[in-house]
Amino acid sequence: MSALDALDERQREAASVLRGPVAVLAGAGTGKTRVITHRIAHGVDTGAYSPSRVMAVTFTAKAAGELRGRLRALGVEGVAARTFHAAALAQLNFFWPTLAGAPAPSIIDNKVRMLGQAADAMRLRPSTATLRDIASEIEWRKVSMLSVDAHAGLGRSVSGVDTQQLVELQQRYEALKDERHQLDFEDVLLACAGMLEAEPRVAASVHEQYRHFTVDEYQDVSPLQNRLLELWLGDRRDICVVGDASQTIYSFAGAEQRFLLEFGRRHPDATVVRLETNYRSQAPILEAANALMKGRPGALELVPARETFNADAPTVTAYDSEREEAEGIAAAVSARIAAGTSPADIAVLYRAHAQSAALQQALAAEGVATSVLGGTRFFAMPEVRQAILALRAAAVAPTEQGFLPGVQRVLRELGLSDEPPAAGGAQRDGWEARRAILRLAEDAGPDENLRTFSDSLMARAKDQHEPTLRTVTLSTLHAAKGLEWPHVHLAGWAEGALPISYATGFEAIDEERRLAYVGVTRAARTLALSWSRSAGRGERAPSRFLAEMGTTARGTGILREMSPNATRADRRR
């Protein structure tokens, strides 16, 4: 069976071109990861690629782990699937001792702490929040490839320090790092790029090692990342970039969608393929998403992969207060779970972390367990580490119980009960984690044993392949990117919340629109949007994005208005 057999016509077109520059403009839910992995597998199967000569670059360790896992499932081992930083750090650690005659610098673990020490030397006492903002500004400066002086010339500022203080703080920060033989996260990319530019033999070695490049989420690359990519590529042309300009949501961190939008102009002979068949969402949700991005640069027109009948239109509900909004969402979620939906199939997404507390409280009051995306990772939870150690210990002295009873015994000894504790606390979180491990054991193959099972858990931890908890997911819109759920609630669609109050000017509002688009396209079957008329003592208006999605060019409605007093039966529809 060919690696291309499982692809649709456009996906197959993208995966078939193995040489030269390729740009895959992949809309939400159109199968971009499938295209990436099947394209690499096709290159290996046909002999065009040697796995060890392929580098697949993405932005998070979790995404890199998913790429490795999918490639492994296709029978491909040995591809370097890494983040930009992991790839650059590996090269620094390999070449630095030879070039400098000493180990590579260590990486600082806390930029804010070192900035605080620089501020102390200046007899400044900025708040922790101010130091965090300065750290973010340093990160933006570096990924934008600007010197301290060039950055000062832009007139960008940080509340709590003046321009000259900001310049001196950065200079002292850099001096402290040099004294301690340390690099920060962004320095890793800068140092690797500098090494490749200054050392022809290093560049030649890297060019010999890696011949073919794939870059996921290309819309999110910064000028520094793009420069490093060019240095890795050298004078070769085998590069495939994949992205969606409508999902550029990290401009504040230096991402520039122009690299994706202008790829065809920079490479006139590039193969450019548009993936617009959406395999995730029902037609009414896609209609809302398309309306939101209509006329924006690089926008794709998403079409459903299959015709759906009687699909629910997205709903919008106005509440009098944020508390009532949280309670209304919790009641709707509880009703859906009572009707038979798994909690894992439901997500509540919002613009800012501060919105999560009221939602957690309201859902706990309904007896609904939640997991906050971006919180403690599954394999970092103490209950999970404890369980893996206990399973490994049990594997050393196996009993006659058999595999599944053995797992059940270990987890029960650690506190797994038949009935879960009340929602909303650490005990319930631990119970859900142990229950997830038990479900993995229940889904294991007939030849599984305690040793192989604990080894598989360790492998999943390394690849950050986390099991699905049977909890409702709470997440910011940023953290939800790349994920999907059958049922999604989008909270806080009011002016000042989305778009957020500090987003001023055309570009900032456009970024908020793209963030809203990311939220809408997370939903597969149902989408419920809501907003509150008041926040504290202030009055709010509905988000402008609701109006943009409210009608199409034909004047027909997209969103269905809901009353906050709608019955639970209405909300389950």
Q: What is the pLDDT along the chain (573 residues), one digit of tens a residue?
A: 788 988 999 999 999 999 999 999 999 999 999 999 999 999 999 999 999 999 999 988 889 988 998 999 999 999 999 999 999 999 999 999 999 888 999 999 889 999 999 999 999 888 888 898 999 999 999 999 999 999 989 888 888 888 899 999 999 999 999 999 999 999 999 999 999 999 999 999 999 999 999 999 999 999 999 999 999 999 999 999 999 999 999 998 899 999 999 999 999 999 999 999 999 999 999 999 999 999 999 999 999 998 777 788 999 999 999 999 999 999 999 999 999 999 999 999 999 888 988 999 899 999 999 988 877 778 888 888 888 888 888 888 766 678 889 888 889 988 888 888 887 777 888 888 898 898 888 888 888 888 888 888 888 887 777 887 889 999 999 999 999 999 999 999 999 999 998 888 889 999 999 999 999 999 999 999 999 998 776 788 999 999 988 744 344 467 888 778 764 445 444
Q: How far apart are CA 509 and CA 532, in angstroms?
A: 20
CATH superfamily of 283-375+471-571: P-loop containing nucleotide triphosphate hydrolases (3.40.50.300)
Residue 473's DSSP bridge partners are 347, 371
Alpha carbon separation from 524 to 267, 484, 489, 521, 572 (Å, rounded):
35, 7, 12, 8, 15
**At how many degrees (to 10) do helices 450-463 and 426-442 cross?**
120
Please give the annotated binding residues, written as ranges. 26-33
> Residues 90, 57: contact at Cβ < 8 Å?
no
- DSSP-derived 3-state class of residue 415: coil
Model-level pTM?
0.86
Please give the annotated binding residues for ATP, written as ranges. 26-33
- Read off the amino acid at residue 361: Q
For β-strands 370-372 and 472-476, DSSP reports them as: parallel
- Read off the amino acid at residue 195: M
Query: 497: which DSSP letter?
Result: B
CATH superfamily of 9-88+189-275: P-loop containing nucleotide triphosphate hydrolases (3.40.50.300)
